[in-house]
Structure formats: C-alpha cells, structure tokens
Structure 1
Amino acid sequence: MGFVAPLSASAAAQTSALATLKDGPATFQAQVDNNPGNGATAWMWLADFKHDDWSWAAAKVIFVDGTTAQYGPAFKTNITGSLPKKVRQFQVCEGLGDQIHKCSGWSYL
C-alpha cells in the first residue's frame, strides 16, 4: 500500500479571482477577494467599460454558506465594496434595461 503525499501550499484555495465578460466592444469585469487585508470579510470590484451603449454590469454571488446575492448595477463606471460573507463563486453579468442579458462562467474561490 502506498502513501499519499501531502498537498503543497500552492494547492491551497485561492483567495481572489477575476471574471470577465466581453460582448462586442463592451467589457464587464468583477473581482472578488476573500482576504482583502482591510478588515473586511470579503471585497468586490465591479466594472462596466469600453462601450457606448446602455448596458450595465452586475455580479451574481454565491457565498460559502449557500446564500446568494446580486450586486450592481455599474453603468459606465466601476464600483467597489465590502461583502458581508466569504464568497464561494461568482460571475459578472451584462444587464440591459432592467434584466440580466448574459453572464460569464463561474469563477471559484
């Protein structure tokens, strides 16, 4: 019977991730950090840039406890803020009017 080698430190869960969605000239990004170093539990940056239409950015978040939230809109700007809980996964989305139009794949922490 063999032994399983311990996981290296590099196999530890990452504490931040970036999600990007491109739609023609539009670019939407969200970044989440579960260890921001500013005393917050978690932190998010959300951006809508590089286009001239009426779409906006939003982020869908699933926290480690399974609850969900949606943040935004960011309209032709970027916004930042502290989050109330650690994040398990998130995605950045493009909104049109008052509806989400499309989203990136999930980014995991």
Structure 2
Amino acid sequence: MLSKRTAKRATFVAASAAFAAVLVTQPAFAAQADAYYHGTHAAVDNNPGSGSAGWVWVYGSTESGATGGAIKYELWDGTSGQLDANRGTTNSAGTGSDIKRFQACTNFYIDGFPFQSCGSWITFG
C-alpha cells in the first residue's frame, strides 16, 4: 500500500502531466498557428474575425546578416503568395481563402545576391 505522501506525489505528477498535455496540444480548429525560422516569426489565422477568410503576418528577422523575413503561404483555392517584412518590422495581409500551409523564411544578401532560406512547411487539414 502506498503511503499518503507517495500517493499525493503520484496524483500531483499525473495531474501536472495531464495539464501540460492540454497546454501543448493544439486542436485542429485552433485559430492561429506560428512558425519561427532564424529570427523570423510567421503566423497565420484561418478565423481572424476581420471579414477575411484568412490572415498572414510576418516579423522580419533581426539575425546577424539578415535583411528581413517572409512568410510563404498556399491557400485552399490553389493560389499562393509571399509577404515580406524588412529587418525588425512587421507586415500583415488578409487572404481570400483559408490557408492550407505556410512557412517562415529569412532573407539575406550573400555576395551581393538575394538569398532566402526557409523552414519546414506547416500544413492544415
């Protein structure tokens, strides 16, 4: 038989684990999703409440050598787009259809040529 102290600890650990799972798990219907890549922060919302079907937002990277950031996105209607933000600034736009997938990108100039590096695609549905 467990002592009262051990039983209380076990209950606390189980409750903490369940609470953490609720905080970490994001349901499929969640409104906003975020991605980070080399200092760029990108976010989308398929239920922005602004009258648009979707919303995209980007914060331009302040990583050393970066000139800014971008969010690349594809919509369920088959169109795609990219929204850029200069270093340390933000930019946002509404979309005509729900967002299907998106990724955060960081922009650089390497040897005088523009270069863009992107993180993994985050896909919905």
Report the TM-score, using the length of structure 2 for normalisation: 0.64
Equivalent pairs counted in the alignment come to 96
1:71 aligns with 2:109: no
Percent of pairs identical after alignment?
26
Q: Distance in 2 between matches of 1:104 and 1:71?
A: 15
Measured against aligned partners, the alpha-carbon deviations of 1:63-99 in whole angstroms (never above 9, x if no partner) come to 1123221111333211222122211000010111363
- Kept in 1, the 8 Å contact 2:62–2:68? The answer is no
What amino acid is the match of 1:20? Y
Match of 1:3 in 2: none
Q: Distance in 2 between matches of 1:75 and 1:50?
A: 6
Deviates more, 1:71-80 or 1:37-46: 71-80
3-state DSSP class of the match of 2:60?
strand
Gaps of 5+ in 1: 1-9
> Alpha carbons of 1:14 and 1:57: their partners in 2 closer, same or farther (altered >3 Å)?
same
Match of 2:40 in 1: 28
Gaps of 5+ in 2: 1-25
Q: Distance in 2 between matches of 1:11 and 1:18?
A: 14
Match of 2:94 in 1: 82
Structure number with higher helix proportion? 2
Report the TM-score, using the length of structure 1 for normalisation: 0.73
> Residue 15 of structure 1: CA displacement?
3.3
Structure number with higher strand proportion? 1
> Alpha carbons of 1:76 and 1:12: their partners in 2 closer, same or farther (altered >3 Å)?
closer
Which is greater in Rg?
Answer: 2
3-state DSSP class of the match of 1:55?
strand
3-state DSSP class of the match of 1:36?
coil
Which runs of 4 or more aligned residues in structure 1 lie more than 6 Å from their structure 2 counterparts after TM superposition? none
RCO comparison, higher one (Cα < 8 Å, 6+): 1
Q: RMSD between aligned alpha carbons?
A: 2.2
Measured against aligned partners, the alpha-carbon deviations of 1:6-56 in whole angstroms (never above 9, x if no partner) come to xxxx8644432101002xxxx101100010112121111200244454421
